[in-house]
Amino acid sequence: MTTTAFIGLGNMGIPMAANLIKAGHEVHGFDLVATNLEKAEASGVKPAASAAAAIERAEVVITMLPAGKHVLSVYEDIAPKATRGTLFIDSSTIDVDSSRKAHDIAAEHGLLSIDAPVSGGVGGAEAGTLTFMAGGSEAAFVKAEPILQPMAGRVVHCGDGGAGQAAKICNNMILGISMIGVGEAFVLAEKLGLSHQALFDVASTSSGQCWSLTTYCPVPGPVPTSPANRDYQPGFAAALMLKDLRLAQEAAQNNGAATPLGAEAAQLYALFETMGNGDKDFSAIINFLRGAAGK
Ligand code: NAD
């Protein structure tokens, strides 16, 4: 049993904390929103009056916050108050530069740290099947892995501090681009009178095969579990895809990588969100592409 502090108990944080509790850990939690803290308490989290109070006896501190600025402000607040050797795990999806700064703050105070963003969404958080992409020292990773396991389907050590965030945005850039590619192919097939099922049957066993097609097919029918079959309820919301594509663009610009298709994908998802679709599953971009095709 490990005494853990969980800071940021939103859509992801609450079910993640619940799985830690089910695995026998004691979890002290804090969130700025009182109703979220109440919901977390109903799942067994011991509510704290502040982040500093939540970490008082913690051997491990997990953060699950919206963006880099929130993570840095929480780290600046609590890192000086934490016992040396405490393990800090940041599972938020944030920019690589802020993630590296968070590791630096932890190191200045003698703490172990891991960035460990996740894929798998709220469903994966509830089921305890998230994929964690971890960045940090071997010593920190070895300590973090058993803590992450009750929340995880898979835990991958990607490299030094920030490598987990780097892996996450590179993966999601592939995903955003591939979903647009698959969507365009279905729109073209419709114009050519080719059925959705026929395109699926061919492409899913040919060189067009990819996750966006075979797991998350953006038209209803061929993959009954894909969000297209439930009016594009997420799943993975388009607003979160846009967030990740923007993080990828920021990283590309800061590090001199040419990512023209990533840039185009970010622009298309920005337009899609502006049109009021941010809360739809990201595969709904196919409807926007149909409009662009003149339907
Ligand atoms: P959310 O907005 O539901 O939760 C974030 C929580 O952090 C909120 O409850 C907010 O009140 C709290 N918070 C903000 N600043 C705080 C502070 N200073 N102290 C304490 N609490 C604070 O977001 P979410 O969907 O749970 O996502 C969390 C992170 O996980 C994000 O970085 C997101 O990109 C990432 N993520 C989300 C999903 C998903 O499907 N929702 C999937 C993968 C990754």
Tell which one of 28, 32, 280 to mutate to probe ligand 1, the residue whose CB is within 8 A of the most ligand atoms: 32
Residue 295 in this model has a pLDDT that exceeds 60:
no
Residue-range domain boundaries for the chain: 3-160, 166-292
What pLDDT does 121 receive?
Answer: 86
pLDDT digits (tens, 9 = 90+) for 236-269: 999 999 999 999 999 999 999 999 999 999 999 9
What pLDDT does 32 receive?
Answer: 98
Distance 32 CA to ligand 1 centre (A): 11
Q: Tell the CATH superfamily of the 166-292 domain.
A: N-(1-d-carboxylethyl)-l-norvaline Dehydrogenase; domain 2 (1.10.1040.10)
**Alpha-carbon distances of 120 from 9, 125, 168, rounded to whole Å:** 17, 7, 11
The tokens describing 149, both together, are 């396991």
Residue 211 in this model has a pLDDT that exceeds 50:
yes
What pLDDT does 52 receive?
Answer: 98
The tokens describing 264, both together, are 């185009």
Our measurement of the distance from residue 163's CA atom to the centroid of its chain's CA atoms, rounded to an integer in Å, reads 14
Tell me the pLDDT band of 235, cut-offs 50, 70 and 90. Answer: confident
> Out of 39, 46, 69, 168, which one is annotated catalytic?
168
Distance CA 192, CA 190 (A): 5
| pLDDT cut 90: percent of the chain above it | 96
Whole-model pTM: value is 0.94
Strands (DSSP E) contained in the chain are 3-7, 26-30, 46-47, 60-63, 87-90, 112-115, 118-119, 130-136, 152-159
Atom number of ligand 1 nearest to Cα 33: 11
Distance 145 CA to ligand 1 centre (A): 21
Q: What is the average pLDDT value for the chain, to the nearest integer? A: 96
What pLDDT does 37 receive?
Answer: 97
Atom number of ligand 1 nearest to Cα 93: 32
Distance 63 CA to ligand 1 centre (A): 9
Residue 282 in this model has a pLDDT that exceeds 60:
yes
Atom number of ligand 1 nearest to Cα 74: 18
Instruction: Tell me yes or no: is domain 3-160 CATH 3.40.50.300.
Output: no
Tell me the pLDDT band of 160, cut-offs 50, 70 and 90. Answer: very high
Distance 67 CA to ligand 1 centre (A): 8
Distance CA 140, CA 245 (A): 28
Tell which one of 37, 64, 242 to mutate to probe ligand 1, the residue whose CB is within 8 A of the most ligand atoms: 64
What lines the ligand 1 site, CB under 6 Å?
7-13, 30-33, 36, 51, 64-66, 70, 73-74, 92-93, 118, 121-122, 236, 240, 243
Residue 183 in this model has a pLDDT that exceeds 60:
yes
In the annotation, is 39 catalytic? no
Residue 155 in this model has a pLDDT that exceeds 70:
yes
pLDDT digits (tens, 9 = 90+) for 87-104: 999 999 999 999 999 999
What pLDDT does 141 receive?
Answer: 98
Distance 201 CA to ligand 1 centre (A): 38
**If you take atom 39 of ligand 1, which residue's CA is the nearest one?**
121
What pLDDT does 198 receive?
Answer: 98
Atom number of ligand 1 nearest to Cα 117: 44
pLDDT digits (tens, 9 = 90+) for 39-51: 999 999 999 999 9
Helix (H) or strand (E) holding 203: helix 196-203
Averaged pLDDT for residues 124-145? 97
| pLDDT cut 70: percent of the chain above it | 99
Residue 294 in this model has a pLDDT that exceeds 50:
no
CB atoms within 10 A of CB 201: 12
